[in-house]
Amino acid sequence: MSFVESEERIALRKAVGDLARAYGHEYYVKVARSGGHTSDLWNEAGRLGYLGVSVPEEYGGGGAGIGDLAAVCEEFCAAGTPMLLMVVSPAICATVIARYGTDEQKRSWLPRFATGEVRMSFAITEPDAGSNSHRLKTTARRDGADWILNGRKVFISGVDEADAVLVVGRTEDAKTGKLKPALFIVPTGTPGFEYKQIDMDLVSADKQFGLFLDDVRLPAEALVGSEDAALAQLFAGLNPERIMGASFSIGIARYALDKGVAYAKERSVWGAPIGTHQGIAHPLAQVKIELELAKLMTQKAAALYDSGDDFGAGEAANMAKYAGAEVAIKAVDQAIQTHGGNGMASEYGLGTLLGAVRVGRIAPVSREMVLNFVAQHSLGLPKSY
């Protein structure tokens, strides 16, 4: 095991960072406040191959692992241009299709994931299920060769930008009669598929939506892979989601920490830069330590996932996601405190992050459910839910 990233990944980070900084946080905030999208940045990143680094080479991608895609996501966030759809489209959807999709699904979707031409949302969360995916009510039934999908989803990211949504539903097991999870690719223009934006108190270019599926008729080929492998397919997407979520938080933490440190060096009060005072320096140093620890756990989770150890990756990915969210909250809070009143001024680009970093504690899995997972699976304690 090496704790030093490869020269290729270091070069990838630099190239992505250069691109993202050319747009910058001001671009992101302007787009977000106007209700727009980061399409210009997304499209350029796609043309340069950054969004498709983990798509198999045979389909036009970079053939790398989730660790490289996570590095791309982190660098965008560290430059102040976070794109939440990266966590969903190339990480969850492309990964699931690459691992479990039919040959036709791979040929149809993966080349366009590789170039960023296609965007796909991921829909699992439901109003009445919360964190309990065993209570999903979205169901699919056969009608001849077709599937009929009915249900409702909530807090689904980027549907207005997406060409399709990878929907987690449930089908009836022919042998047992019990419902089991299944994944369906639903083009956003399909009759019976509707979505409505959820108003959020967040300054974000990525919007949240509620989905309404009313007798949505899908062809047989909309089912991803095998009907009997759906649970494995689901976790093939959830582990990358947590790894990318951790990288998303870590990147924002880096952005905030860099802003805080720069201000502590420049701002002079009582004849010396405020960074000379331990009351300012020590909290920033603590953020740096916790940031590096979160980054190491994220790299471990990615390495385990890329090696094929899904269960080991699950433990590490949950821990990484937890650590990343916690340090992002601390980094933004301390950067704002370091700036004093300027921390809330739009000019300094920190105030808008207050709500954004809290999302990491809630989604894609809550802080409390991560602790439940670690208590049960890592510590062997009785299941508490």
Every domain of the chain with CATH number 1.10.540.10 lies at: 7-119
Cis status, amide bond into 219, omega within 30 of 0? no
Cα distances from 348 to residues 121, 288, 332, 339, in angstroms, run: 32, 20, 12, 9
CATH architecture designation of domain 7-119: Orthogonal Bundle (1.10)
Alpha-helix residue ranges (DSSP H) falling in the chain: 7-33, 39-47, 66-78, 85-88, 94-100, 103-115, 230-266, 278-306, 310-339, 353-362, 367-373
Contact 137, 125 (CB under 8 A): no
Computed over its alpha carbons, how large is the radius of gyration of the chain?
21
User: Residue 116: which region, alpha, beta or left (left: phi > 0; alpha: psi -120 to 50)?
Assistant: left
Residues of the chain with CATH 2.40.110.10: 122-225
> Which residue, among 93, 84, 77, 29, has the nearest Cα to 236 in the 3D structure?
93
CATH of domain 231-378: 1.20.140.10
Mean pLDDT of residues grouped by 10 in the chain (385 residues)?
89 98 97 97 98 98 97 98 96 95 96 98 90 83 96 97 96 75 95 98 96 98 81 82 97 98 96 97 98 98 94 95 98 98 96 94 94 96 92
Residues of the chain with CATH 1.20.140.10: 231-378
Would you say domain 122-225 falls under CATH 3.30.70.60? no
| Predicted local confidence at residue 315, as pLDDT | 96
Task: Tell if the pTM clears 0.85, that is, is over it.
Answer: yes
pLDDT at 199: 96
* Length of the chain, in residues: 385
